[in-house]
């Protein structure tokens, strides 16, 4: 039983997670309860968010335009676990957030511009845990391209 506790604790330490465990007695059988979380910038332990949605991407940009990729939900933020975007032509692509069909209202950049070569791609390796991409609840997650191109790929995310 101690070995299981130490394996779970080792896993948590390897991934920078906080683990709290304590023995319990359920029907005379000893067991270990473990709650995994991560320390936030506020110094508090927060439950990790797991991505439960995937979106296939295929969008033609005319150049210098923004596309509302994932619609915002009232009071909730969009968090991403991973993505892959491939482009047909050379393009600089960038994440932004805002409202409206092109995120034109209350828009803010979420990432720097990533230059993607023609017939190439960019990826955020899938993680089991989400990273916040929008900072304002209700905002949509958008994608901008500075050149005409078609972007294809996928994005794994959750809205909480």
On whether the CB atoms of residues 34 and 20 are closer than 8 A, the answer is: yes
Domain count, the chain: 2
How many CB atoms sit inside 10 A of residue 98's CB? Answer: 22
112 and 140 share one domain:
yes
Q: Which residues pair with 132 in a beta bridge?
A: 79
Q: What is the pLDDT of residue 39?
A: 62
- Banded model confidence at residue 2, pLDDT cuts 50, 70, 90: low
Q: Which residue has the higher pLDDT, 120 or 20?
A: 120
Read off the CATH number of the domain in which 149 is found: 2.60.120
63 and 24 share one domain:
no
Q: What is the pLDDT of residue 49?
A: 78
153 and 78 share one domain:
yes
**What's the domain range around 116?**
53-159
**41 φ/ψ angles, rounded to the nearest 5 degrees:** -65, -20
80 and 26 share one domain:
no
The SS3 of residue 97 is: strand
64 and 109 share one domain:
yes
Q: What is the pLDDT of residues 49-102, one digit of tens each?
A: 788 999 999 999 999 999 999 999 999 999 999 999 999 999 999 999 999 888
The SS3 of residue 2 is: helix
On the question of pLDDT at 142 being above 70, the answer is: yes
Among 5-14, 62-71, 114-123, 124-133, which stretch is predicted with the lowest mean pLDDT? Answer: 5-14
150 and 84 share one domain:
yes
87 and 126 share one domain:
yes
């Amino acid at each position: 039983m101690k070995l299981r506790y130490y394996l779970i604790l080792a896993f948590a330490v390897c991934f920078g997670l906080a683990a709290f465990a304590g023995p319990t007695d359920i029907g005379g059988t000893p067991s270990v309860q473990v709650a995994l979380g991560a320390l936030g910038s506020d110094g508090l332990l927060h439950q990790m968010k797991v991505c439960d949605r995937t979106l296939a991407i295929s969008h033609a940009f005319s150049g210098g335009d923004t596309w509302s990729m994932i619609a915002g939900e009232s009071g909730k933020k969009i968090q991403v676990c991973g993505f892959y975007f491939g482009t047909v032509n050379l393009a600089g692509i960038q994440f932004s957030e805002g409202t409206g069909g092109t995120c034109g209202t209350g828009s803010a950049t979420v990432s720097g511009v990533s230059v993607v070569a023609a017939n190439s791609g960019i990826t955020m390796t899938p993680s089991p845990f989400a990273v916040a991409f929008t900072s304002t609840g209700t905002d949509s997650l958008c994608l901008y391209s500075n050149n005409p191109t078609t972007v294809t790929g996928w994005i794994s995310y959750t809205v909480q």
